[in-house]
Amino acid sequence: MAVTRNYYEFDREQWASLHGPTKRAEITDADLQSVKAFNDKISLADVREIYWPLRRLVYLYFKNFRQKRQILAHFLDTDVGPSPFIIGIAGSVAVGKSTTARLLDLLLQRAYPKLTVQTVTTDGFLYPNAILTKRGILDRKGFPESYDMGKLLEVLDAIKAGNPDVLVPAYDHQTYDVLPDSQGIHVRQPDILIVEGINVLQLPSNAQIYVSDFFDFSIYVDANPALVEEWYLDRFGLLLDTAFTDPNNYYYQYAIGNRQAAFAMARRVWRDVNLKNLKEFIEPTRSRADLVLHKTAHHRIDEVDLRKY
């Protein structure tokens, strides 16, 4: 283990040794297929060597959170009410945040079946395409100004306050737009809530409170931008392969057209939108995370950094 600035740095073998005596509920290949992102790669070795120790660490933080709530209730001599332990997961487009979120959700539920765990994304807090078009920022989708941050903060505040039923808006990656409220996700006082999104650790300059203020633990999924571009283009190709039968799919127009031109468009979007957003607004939040999962080729996690303080 190395120490750099305010992080402990572990290589894969060192991190794997920290699984401890915790209950290791078995996960199958079918389980992995059900949680992994469209073009992500993950193995049972990743579960054992990376995610078992991560699950143990999260649970230890969760127990400490519960103890602090009890101390507060004792001090106030009153019931402070339920409040979920919230985990934020950040990182670039196509880096594998969704897989990390869904796998962590699955592992926590398998190991601690008495706990309720839910996962939501911040994609649903993007302004609808019609609004982005009206404001002339559709080509900046994913940048801070494309999100309704006020609404996101209100929703997180309601969830953290223990409201019994909070509606979280959802996003459809097939139509590339926000879904109606009737298709949103109801968050009903989970013990643990996982919030995944590129913007969860960002610090809007005009806000008095930040999204990360609601988090009790945060994770940043990291990789070299050149690798992330490769994964982004791989995913784009797979989307083209599946979209050509559905005229309502956002990618249908590219799937039935010239494939070379479609990939030229995707490279421009990566360069002018996703890479720019990564460099200016996402990557700078890395140092705010409690834990960093660093990926190398083939989505293999080769290093884990844990914040000291």
114 known member of a binding site:
no
47 known member of a binding site:
no
3-state helix, strand, coil in the chain (%, to 5): 50, 20, 30
Going by C-alpha positions, the residue among 308, 286, 251, 290 that lies closest to residue 95 is 286
97 known member of a binding site:
yes
120 known member of a binding site:
no
Strands in the chain per DSSP E:
2-4, 7-11, 85-91, 117-121, 166-168, 171-172, 177-178, 185-187, 192-196, 217-223, 291-295, 301-307
DSSP 126: B
158 known member of a binding site:
no
What letter represents residue 215's amino acid? F
Q: Given the DSSP bridges, would you call strands 2-4 and 171-172 parallel, antiparallel or unpaired?
A: unpaired
Contact at 8 Å (CB) between 195 and 87? yes
Contact at 8 Å (CB) between 53 and 18? yes
Going by C-alpha positions, the residue among 193, 173, 178 that lies closest to residue 236 is 173
23 known member of a binding site:
no
94 known member of a binding site:
yes
3 known member of a binding site:
no
Binding positions for ATP: 91-98
- Binding-site residue ranges: 91-98
